[in-house]
Homo-oligomer: A and B are copies of this chain.
Amino acid sequence: MLDAALLGTGGMMPLPWRFLTSLLLRFDGRLVMVDCGEGTQITLKLLGWGYKNLDAICFTHFHADHIAGLPGLLLTVGNSGREEPLTLVGPPGMGVVARSLCVIAQELPFEVNIVELPFERGSPPRCLTLGDFHIAALPVDHRIPCFAYAFEFKRAGRFDTEKAHLNKVPMKAWNRLQKYETVVLDGFAYTPEMVLGPPRTPIKAAYCTDTRPVKGLANFVKGSDLFICEGLHGDADALAKTAAHKHMIFQEAAAIAKAGGVNELWLTHFSPAMTNPENYIDAAKAVFPNSRVGKDRMTATINYRKE
């Protein structure tokens, strides 16, 4: 079961009525965040999922509205009693930017690990695994290097008694094999594949802000249970200026959701000038019916499919 919370839905600057766009994912009690602008720790407190289990923050890019909240959040996570390392993932420069911002957060009670993902436009997604979080990052097209992220939570195949018997797996190994461990008995190694059917459909959530539509993006988000995507403006007339700043409008996000065959689209990263994004949701729905306007602290619980 995955819990997803959209911590904020604004772009450019935090507003009294709208925090900056950020996503929090919770799986088996562990937390991973995407982006952390000024004020993200405030909406995080309102959400109430705690700070201590935050294992990683993935950054799309280094514009201030996506990262200025980093030092404050790290200090607050430190005050929560965390001592395990925390990982920061982002484009090249992640280390320099994090160290610069942390000039005012130098005495943290945990280590900060830095993962800088190489950025090459048109290259296939980069992948890394942090606990149960299988993370993929796709280079997209903004004014500075920027990634879209996809998170998969894998699910092993169903236990197959017949297969276990066929492979002569002793029953005392079954339980651990089912938990995806390899078991050695009497000098013989038994692997999970010997008792399990084919892997079942993973849970998938994808997140994309601050880009023009790029080739490969629909494929990258393919089959997502939840796709969170920017719609800086809802008005189609704003396309030219939105494109000039390397952003997307509602209809473009909806077109990616449709092409990717996702289950649900949440729009986010609204311009401060767009006071009521609901006014434009019909334009998105016309392209992809299951589109919703994101709200601060909107949450979803996503279960594995019945199969």
Chain A 23-64 residues near chain B, CB threshold 8 A: 37-39, 41-43, 45-46, 62-64
Q: Report yes or no: A64 in contact with B72, Cβ–Cβ below 8 A.
A: yes
Chain B residues whose C-beta falls within 8 Å of the C-beta of A130 in the assembled complex:
none
* A68, CB-defined interface residue at 8 Å: yes
* A75, CB-defined interface residue at 8 Å: yes
Interface residues of A, count at CB 8 A: 32
* A100, CB-defined interface residue at 8 Å: yes
Q: Report yes or no: A42 in contact with B16, Cβ–Cβ below 8 A.
A: yes
How many angstroms from the CA of A6 to the CA of B11 in the assembled complex? 27
Q: Report yes or no: B41 in contact with A13, Cβ–Cβ below 8 A.
A: yes
Given contacts A68-B71, A97-B104, A104-B68, contact A42 B15 (CB under 8 A): yes
Q: Report yes or no: A105 in contact with B64, Cβ–Cβ below 8 A.
A: yes
How many angstroms from the CA of A65 to the CA of B69 in the assembled complex? 11
* A171, CB-defined interface residue at 8 Å: no
* A114, CB-defined interface residue at 8 Å: no
- Copies of this chain, how many? 2
Taking the nearest CB of chain B, how far is it from the CB of A115, in angstroms? 19
* A14, CB-defined interface residue at 8 Å: yes
Taking the nearest CB of chain B, how far is it from the CB of A75, in angstroms? 6
8 Å CB contact of A64 from B39, B63, B65, B71: B71
Closest residue on chain B to residue A39 by CB atoms: B39
8 Å CB contact of A39 from B38, B96, B97, B100: B38
How many angstroms from the CA of A97 to the CA of B71 in the assembled complex? 13
Taking the nearest CB of chain B, how far is it from the CB of A302, in angstroms? 27
* A161, CB-defined interface residue at 8 Å: no
* A79, CB-defined interface residue at 8 Å: yes
Given contacts A100-B103, A104-B64, A105-B64, contact A72 B42 (CB under 8 A): no
Q: Report yes or no: B103 in contact with A72, Cβ–Cβ below 8 A.
A: no
Closest residue on chain B to residue A97 by CB atoms: B103
How many angstroms from the CA of A91 to the CA of B46 in the assembled complex? 34
Taking the nearest CB of chain B, how far is it from the CB of A110, in angstroms? 16
Given contacts A42-B15, A72-B68, A75-B64, contact A96 B104 (CB under 8 A): no
Chain A 74-98 residues near chain B, CB threshold 8 A: 75-76, 79, 96-97
How many angstroms from the CA of A62 to the CA of B41 in the assembled complex? 19
* A101, CB-defined interface residue at 8 Å: yes
Chain A 127-184 residues near chain B, CB threshold 8 A: none
Chain B residues whose C-beta falls within 8 Å of the C-beta of A103 in the assembled complex:
62, 96-97, 100-101
8 Å CB contact of A16 from B14, B38, B45, B97: B45
Show 5 residue pairs from A and B whose CB-CB distance is below 8 angstroms, ordered by the A residue.
Answer: A13-B79, A62-B104, A63-B104, A64-B104, A97-B103
